[in-house]
Amino acid sequence: PLAQLRDPSLLKTDALINGEWVGGASRFDVADPATGDVLTHVANLGASEADAAITAANAAWPAWRAKTAKERGAILMRWYHLLVQHADDLARILTAEQGKPLAEARGEIVYGASFVEWFAEQGKRVYGETVPTTDPTKRTMVIRQPVGVCAAITPWNFPLAMITRKVAPALAAGCPVVIKPAEQTPLTALAAAELAQRAGMPAGVLNVITGDGDHSVAIGQVLCESPVVRHLSFTGSTEVGRILMAQSAPTIKKLSLELGGNAPFLVFDDADLDSAVEGAIASKYRNAGQTCVCANRLYVQAGVYDAFIAKLAEKVGGLKVGNGFEAGVTQGPLIDDAAIAKVEQHVADATGKGAKVLVGGSRLHDRFFQPTVLSEVTSEMLCAREETFGPVAPVFRFQTEAEGIAMANATEFGLAAYFYSRDIGRIYRVAEGLESGMVGINTGLISTAEVPFGGVKQSGLGREGGHQGIDEYVESKYLCLGDL
Ligand code: ADP
């Protein structure tokens, strides 16, 4: 699939440190999850290269922060235009290493690029404050400055967007970055880095360190333990987030963590059912269920339960599974064998405890799983507590509004939640009652660069996107001018 790139020089397999492409002593395979074929071999770097990248970033910091926000914004805006210009090639690279359908991959490139555009503009709005004084001989004010060298550790499910929404605000604020992309999907990250180079990013300001699973652990440790790295932003599992948080404790590092989801999706008796079904499909089956904001648990009020599951099962039966490069495919493969095994485990556990399979229910072949709907699901089942991260919609039944909210909140996670209702009073009660960082009301798609994305409870710390997104990368400094 990568032979057809319009610009083959976007296919980079070396890491980027201090503006130089670095091969290192060994390489690791990157495979196509649809076929299992090895696409290419990428530089397998480790602790010493991570150190070198941190040193390079720190050396590049003074000149980068000294630029005006407008100057940094101009480089970011050039990067944005290059990402959009090369969206077709980037989408091909993304589908090849990640598996999502090509149209969805292209959507991610445009979405990922939009964070670069947004923060190129927002960098100019890192306003300070003057504070009315209580002492006539003094004046008090607050300025905001870049936090310093930032590290970003990112997952495979959005190989571009999870990088840009960390890196763009950091760069716009005046911070250099070291990126450690997921070992499954380094090629999109490296292609984006190549375009950043073409946009005129100075050497050392944007570094990408690649490594396989084992090396990622070693690189992560260096990034966490370095006193030079002032901020670490991570998107991935809650389990790894905890490890990184613990490793970052000795250096009191600032942290942005975007962790596990387990999103509830509620449908009330007064909902527009067709719209709810459409929203459930958009939220649940995007990226074959592999996003942290995918609906993981569907709760449907008793009065519309049967009608809802019938409509849902019919639509889900029409989804097309296959290689993401094939026209019309809406469901690609899962990322790896472990992902498939988890989905199989959740389905077997649910059916073993009494759930019914309305559609799908099993693996087609390799890493392809049928889009699945389960009914009569209860809170004793594994899929009630854990993120399935696959194309399985377990549908629970609830009676009252209070019960629905309580069931939705019965999780240690709190990233996204969704609900469908046409009652204005209920809309406010439920929106305020759900324990989550984001709520989709009568929609299954909520992500966009202009709003704050992030979770409560064990779904993480901090917000990405929106005007809030840049706050993570600046420190407030209070100035007190006396003896007037
Ligand atoms: P997922 O479940 O989405 O694969 P992970 O949390 O395992 O999420 O991985 C997300 C990112 O964290 C990847 O870039 C991966 O290489 C990295 N990672 C995984 N384990 C560690 C670790 N112990 N230390 C540092 N980085 C890690």
Per-residue confidence of the chain (484 residues) as pLDDT tens digits? 899 999 999 999 999 999 999 998 999 999 999 999 999 999 999 999 999 999 999 999 999 999 999 999 999 999 999 999 999 999 999 999 999 999 999 999 999 999 999 999 999 999 999 999 999 999 999 999 999 999 999 999 999 999 999 999 999 999 999 999 999 999 999 999 999 999 999 999 999 999 999 999 999 999 999 999 999 999 999 999 999 999 999 999 999 999 999 999 999 999 999 999 999 999 999 999 999 999 999 999 999 999 999 999 999 999 999 999 999 999 999 999 999 999 999 999 999 999 999 999 999 999 999 999 999 999 999 999 999 999 999 999 999 999 999 999 999 999 999 999 999 999 999 999 999 999 999 999 999 999 999 999 999 999 999 999 999 999 999 999 999 9
Q: What is the pLDDT of residue 390?
A: 97
| ipTM exceeding 0.95, yes/no | yes
How far, in Å, CA of 63 to CA of 258, rounded? 30
Query: DSSP assignment, residue 242?
Result: H
217 CA from centroid of ligand 1 (Å): 8
Of 97, 153, 179, 187, the one to substitute when testing ligand 1's pocket (max ligand atoms within 8 A of C-beta) is 153
Burial of 30 (0-12, 13-18, 19+ CB in 10 A): buried
How far, in Å, CA of 39 to CA of 453, rounded? 33
Query: DSSP assignment, residue 251?
Result: T
180 CA from centroid of ligand 1 (Å): 10
The pocket around ligand 1, CB under 6 angstroms, is made up of: 153-156, 180, 182-183, 216-217, 220, 236-237, 240, 243-244
How far, in Å, CA of 455 to CA of 238, rounded? 11
How far, in Å, CA of 127 to CA of 29, rounded? 45
Q: What is the pLDDT of residue 74?
A: 98
CB within 8 Å of 175: residues ≥ 6 apart: 61, 64, 65, 146, 147, 148, 149, 150, 230, 231, 473
218 CA from centroid of ligand 1 (Å): 11
SS3 326: coil
266-291 pLDDT per residue, tens: 999 999 999 999 999 999 999 999 99
Catalytic one among 97, 183, 258, 387? 258
- Catalytic site includes residue 258: yes
- What's this model's pTM, rounded to 2 decimal places? 0.98
